[in-house]
Amino acid sequence: MFDHKIAIRPYDVLPRHSRTTCWLTMMRPASLSACLIGFLWIVAASPPLKAEPPVDGNATADEKTTTPESAASEALTEWQSTGLPLMQAYCVDCHNEDVQEGGLDLSPFETLSDLTTAEVKRVLEMVRFGAMPPEDYDTPEIEERKLLVSSLEATMYSSTCDLTPRAGKVTVRRLNRSEYNNTIRDLFGMDLRPADRFPSDEVGAGFDNNGDVLSLSPMLIEKFIEAAEHVSQNVIVDPDDLPVLRLEVPGDQIPIYGEPKIGSFSGRFVDGDSFAWIDLEAPFDGDYRIDVRGGATSKERGRVNVAICDASGTLLATDGLDYFGGGGSADSMNETIELSKGKHRLIFVPVLDDRELKVGETKFESVTNMDPERVKSILAKRGKPVSVERGIDSDEFPFMFRSFKVNGPGKHPSEAYPPKQFEVVRHIAPKKRNRYYDVEKVALKNLTPLMHTVFRGPVTDDEVRPYAQLVEQSVKDGASYHRATQIALSAILVSPRFLFRVETPPADSQPNAFGDVPLSQHQLATRLSYFLWSSTPDQTLLEQADRDQLDVDRLKGHVERMLADQKADAMASDFAAQWLGLRNLTEHEADGKRFPTFDDPLKSAMVRETEALFLHILRHNLPVGEFLTADYTFVDPSLARHYGLTVDESKARDQPYQKVSLSGTPRRGLLSHASVLTLTSTPNRTSPVLRGKWILENILGTKAPDPPAGVPELEDGETAGDNATLREQLELHRQSPSCASCHRVMDQLGFGLDDFDAIGQFRTEEGGKPIDASGALPDGRSFNGGAELSGMLAETEIEGLARTLTERLLTFAIGRELTPDDRCTIDEIIEHTRGNQFRLADLVTEVVLSRQFRFQTYDADATNR
């Protein structure tokens, strides 16, 4: 929606007279929508954010002495000695000024003149992929192809790196659905997931956190408003609205276990073996006041102790009642007892002897033998007309119950409130004559630390005051202080300072030798937390940003700390799931007749297995080759049965996904995961093409060229016969010259996984015919089956996997599509991590320490707005 140069300020860009009007429409979503749209429109002309101390503000990049002329000369010399001879030998016969097969003329490569990055990249992809030259022409040896690829890469990137590539810019971007949910969870300690009701996010460069595609539609604005109000009402509650127990049991409702007499005014007269009880449900743990009215039926008997017991007969409290006074009178007693949340039965036993009563020790065995059927019958008769008796014998019926009351809890426990209530509402405005005063002053004290956290950075009194005034105005309009704070919080949650991540340079920024400026401390803290957690910075990060302490060493420490945190599970559900395409599995369908066990729980288990492997490799900082060679996996009982493995089902409740060995099985690493194998299949069969393409793009980072226009799908082309295997069909498909160049690579890789069916189960035959899972890599090495394929890829393609992962990590971390300038950073990360086998957490750390992550390209226009 916005150009990345726009500097978004919160709320204070509105004219003063319109601020309260805007935010008071919080209770009217349509009005607030119009107000918020106008607010965001005004944002475009607002001044830049207050300058913050930059990260490594005094640091400058290494000075480069290479000039554009010298870099171009060196690149040309290197190209003419290595790459050009190979291109002339294998390519220019078909791609020259006269022929131009595929519309491509490679003549400019002789002098590197008039070439665009896109043209070089296109040639590079085709050569690296192995699609060119075609098989019926002279083809380069494996080492020659590698040399040509290396030379093309140098042509494309080396001169750029020598000419001081820039860190680049990131478009102002809003929180996506996952980030919004996680941020609300971590701010307020409640997993409310309001963003589940938002429209789906668009995907750019493979990820849904790309600023260039995170648009803001009118519908989404309405959803933001609804979510803000929903969140505020759930994370703050008014104590006056909390559930309480207010139970009154009049005489005609008192259940008596025994044979009572009914006296005047519905008093229940009981003999020495009878007792009363009430059933109740305590809304919270706490102290509850029990009031009992009644008494002895004669003055001569004197004070009668009344024992209050629980259902087990254990004494909870005791007190005494004197003569009830005759007629409709009664003596009264009250006791406070502690009850846990939930249902209780309280039993009231008149004690007509002089036994010693000890709370918690004395037990009344008679109450433990209550017959359930008799209890049910007694309760059914409550409130029905009864015959009132006169002249009840006080010796036979020495005690009378008039009524019961139960009130509580006396004070609500902390568990009754939302988890962060007392952090959000730290102070409550005082009351005088039932009216609040000093509301704005108290609201400022509450909202300042809250807004610092919600806005992920410092706020001034001038920025907080309008929200505090909103609290005051709401109280004047009749809202309680807590409801008024809810309204202010709703306004905060629709502020651009919350909804958007803005990384404008500080106003006094000066570029370094690369033409870049460092991110501010709070921008860096925010970028780090949304990279590793897909959520807001925690207090540790914010406090160090407040103190300007986020230097390189501390960043390393934070990466280690944050990856160990459970919130880093988001790296699996947000990064890995998109890198590997796991989210597509949700909508995947399989033929119910052929695969009757395929259902939603199994799909979830498939995804979780792959995410668990990713997190295991990440948190143990294992080499990325483990993705291909892991001889273990993580399964729940359903997926274990799917694989033919065994798990300890007695541990499934506490440990649903257990680590199991794959030793002695045909499975190794990601390529044998049912998630990958299923999403690269059609509903009723496997797809070697999709599987080969998946390996090329997600493991080796080689994008398969788009198919030529007009090429038919496999089912629409010429068939090899009714009994032909899929492999035979594909062999026929590849006879087309327009198909052969690409499919000879993809299909060979995909065939290696054909010993797994369309939902990832191992198989040795299909339709009575043995499975042929043999294939060959582009370098000529042959394999048979997924395990051998994984092993061979692990022998020679680990750097390709590491590079692919690094590119995807950097794209996800900075929220934009990579450019040729970023290639230099990728190269540096690969070099730094090669000696330690490209360990995954090391790659993550290097991305965080990279210039692309910590800096942004300087734009004087943006800083002067």
Answer yes or no: is 617 within a domain.
yes
Q: In 3D, which of 180, 47, 43 has the Cα closest to residue 493?
A: 180
Q: Residue 267 is encoded by which pair of tokens?
A: 């008093």
Confidence class of residue 348 from pLDDT cuts 50, 70 and 90? very high
- What is the pairing mode between strands 765-766 and 769-770? antiparallel
E-strand ranges in 11-140 read none
Answer yes or no: is 752 within a domain.
yes
Digit-coded pLDDT (tens) for 23-41: 333 333 333 433 443 333 3
Please give the model's pTM, rounded to 2 decimal places. 0.84
Digit-coded pLDDT (tens) for 121-160: 667 767 766 667 766 677 777 778 778 877 777 776 665 6
Confidence class of residue 96 from pLDDT cuts 50, 70 and 90? confident
Residue 733 confidence (pLDDT) above 80: no
Choosing from 796, 817, 839, the residue where a domain stops is 796
C-alpha R_g of the chain: 37
In the chain, the number of structural domains is 4
CA-based angle 820:821:824, to the nearest 5? 100
What span, in angstroms and rounded, lies between the C-alpha atoms of 33 and 22?
10
352 and 380, same domain (yes or no): yes
Calculate the average pLDDT of the chain: 86
Q: Which pLDDT belongs to residue 14? A: 35
Q: Which pLDDT belongs to residue 698? A: 94
Confidence class of residue 48 from pLDDT cuts 50, 70 and 90? very low
Q: What is the dihedral of CA 489, 490, 496, 501, to 10 degrees?
A: 70
782 and 833, same domain (yes or no): no
Answer yes or no: is 203 within a domain.
no
Choosing from 355, 390, 414, the residue where a domain stops is 414
Q: Which pLDDT belongs to residue 233? A: 97
Answer yes or no: is 50 within a domain.
no
281 and 296, same domain (yes or no): yes
**DSSP assignment, residue 585?**
G
Q: Which pLDDT belongs to residue 26? A: 36
Confidence class of residue 105 from pLDDT cuts 50, 70 and 90? confident
Answer yes or no: is 731 within a domain.
yes
812 and 778, same domain (yes or no): no
Q: What percentage of the chain reaches a pLDDT higher than 70? A: 83
Give me the phi and psi of 566, to 5 degrees please.
-60, -25
785 and 810, same domain (yes or no): no
In contact, 826 and 609? CB cutoff 8 Å: no
In contact, 606 and 670? CB cutoff 8 Å: no
Q: Which pLDDT belongs to residue 303? A: 94
Lowest mean pLDDT among 471-480, 771-780, 806-815, 855-864: 855-864
In contact, 637 and 609? CB cutoff 8 Å: no
Q: Which pLDDT belongs to residue 36? A: 41
Digit-coded pLDDT (tens) for 659-690: 999 999 999 999 999 999 999 999 999 999 99
Token pair 């665009």 is at which residue? 116
Residue 337 confidence (pLDDT) above 90: yes
Q: How far is CA 131 from CA 77, 271, 749, in A?
A: 27, 100, 14
CA-based angle 77:83:85, to the nearest 5? 95
Q: Which pLDDT belongs to residue 834? A: 96
In contact, 774 and 784? CB cutoff 8 Å: yes
Residue 340 confidence (pLDDT) above 70: yes
312 and 270, same domain (yes or no): yes
Answer yes or no: is 520 within a domain.
no
338 and 271, same domain (yes or no): yes
Residue 723 confidence (pLDDT) above 70: no
What span, in angstroms and rounded, lies between the C-alpha atoms of 665 and 478?
70
737 and 809, same domain (yes or no): no
Answer yes or no: is 121 within a domain.
yes
Choosing from 103, 131, 162, the residue where a domain stops is 162
Q: Which helix (H) or strand (E) holds 153?
A: helix 142-153
Look up the CATH number of the domain holding residue 342: 2.60.120.260
597 and 637, same domain (yes or no): yes
Question: Range of 610's domain?
Answer: 581-796
Give me the phi and psi of 256, to 5 degrees please.
-120, 125
722 and 844, same domain (yes or no): no
786 and 805, same domain (yes or no): no
Answer yes or no: is 385 within a domain.
yes
Q: Which residues contact 251 (CB under 8 A, 6 or more apart)?
A: 265, 266, 267, 268, 401, 402, 403
Could you please report the per-residue DSSP string of 531-575? Answer: HHTSS---HHHHHHHHTT---HHHHHHHHHHHHHSGGGGHIIIII
Q: Which pLDDT belongs to residue 79? A: 79
267 and 150, same domain (yes or no): no
